[in-house]
Amino acid sequence: METEQTPKKPSVSKALLVLNCVLLAIGTCGGPLLMRLYFLHGGNRVWFSSWLETGAWPIFLFPLTVAYFQRRLAEPTKPTKFFLMKPPLFLVSAVIGLITGVDNYLYAYGVARLPVSTSSLIIASQLAFTAVFAYLLVKQKFDYYSMNAVFLLTFAAGILALNTSGDRPAGESSKEYIFGFLTTIGAAVLYGFILPLMELVYKKTKQNVDYLLVMEIQMVMCLFATIFCTIGMIVNNDFKVIPRESRDFGLGETKYYVVVVITGIVWQGFFMGAIGVIFCSSSLSSAVLITVLLPVTEVLAVFFYNEKFEAIKGVSLALSLWGFISYYYGEKKKMKKLEDKAIETELSQLADPGIFGTEEYSSTVESESESESESESVTRCVCRRLQAGPGFVTCKRSILSMSLRGVEWRGVEWRLKRGNLGKFN
């Protein structure tokens, strides 16, 4: 059974999408840079670094608490639950959280061994894996442009394998570098699976999915990912080492904890932004946005850490940008086709003789002037009738013809939008 998502006004949906895109941008660019900062200045605890990716999950309690009291004030006579999530959805979110914990460790290990520019380009390959899993799990449809984008972005990440030693950090063995490369690929595969899996959860859950529930899902996922990484930290004795590591940190003990706290908060922005974009759009859109932010991360890594930007990375970056442009152009064409189809559907409904009664039709379409043709009268009639009902309707002159109760007419195109009443141009 598919979920019935809460109807959202276009302005609200757009605002949510923009908000989550901003969160995703901050997390995608800031998360890897802060994590690399930790490793560059003496940090070497991979389990602790992976723990930081989800360890700041309690910050979700603040907006959830505010929402809880708002619900209580709105309906004081009804019992109010703090959490809206039901047990089946909780269990699914917990399982996905454990998978996220594994993904966090794979990614953290890769960042510890690879330059940020290299690891970011490899992570871009997750778009290909997201596309495959989106096709299998949520029946995502592809066209030439999306397939071209997937191919280009996958190839862009793949050619980095030709440079497995050119940008290897000093003092790191070839074996460690290659293993870091492979674990980063593994993280891309796993997260490429998680994104469409979340979209599937939204579609199949029997609960009404709104943004508050999305935040609850994210909190539960991060909680269980943190539990998984906490067990790894205990086994690896990270809790005992952290105090000593903070004293030996290259930037100082105080800045060590500042870096740790900010890293945790920024990564929450990434995860919340990723599943928020899925909620507002789709898993493939979320993966594409992560890939779009790749050039920004590249430039920041070169600027802050003086990482080498060799020719092979330039080629990879160019292919990545080409892939995104292809995807974006394809999406624009797809949206245009959907709009045209919606117009056709609305016009066919307007052509139904049952819309206008015979008496109303015959009296309404009388010409207001001698120069007005019968088709123009019908046009005016349809516009007036639609303006009397809900919806925002704008009529524009274009080459379009249809039959309304046997009268052929040309020159009106319907563009339908949600909102208040419109006017006849």
Tokens 């529930």 belong to 213
Q: Find the DSSP H helices in 365-403.
A: 374-387
Residue 232 is predicted with a pLDDT of 94
Highest mean pLDDT among 34-43, 136-145, 218-227: 218-227
The answer to whether 142 and 131 are in contact (CB under 8 A) is yes
In this structure, of 21-35, 37-51, 174-188, 318-332, the range with the lowest mean pLDDT score is 318-332
Q: Which residues does 193 contact at the CB level (< 8 Å), separation at least 6?
A: 99, 129, 133
DSSP 354: G
pLDDT at 201 over 70: yes
In one-letter notation, the amino acid at residue 153 is: L
The answer to whether 382 and 409 are in contact (CB under 8 A) is no
In one-letter notation, the amino acid at residue 145 is: Y
The C-alpha atoms of residue 37 and residue 262 are separated, in whole angstroms, by: 12
Tens-digit pLDDT profile for residues 366-414: 444 444 444 444 444 444 444 444 333 333 333 333 333 333 333 333 3
The torsion defined by the Cα of 13, 16, 18 and 21, in degrees rounded to 10, comes to: -120
What would the mean pLDDT of 148-177 be, rounded to a whole number? 69
User: To the nearest whole number, what is the mean pLDDT of the chain?
Assistant: 75
- What is the model's pTM? 0.71
Residue 246 is predicted with a pLDDT of 92
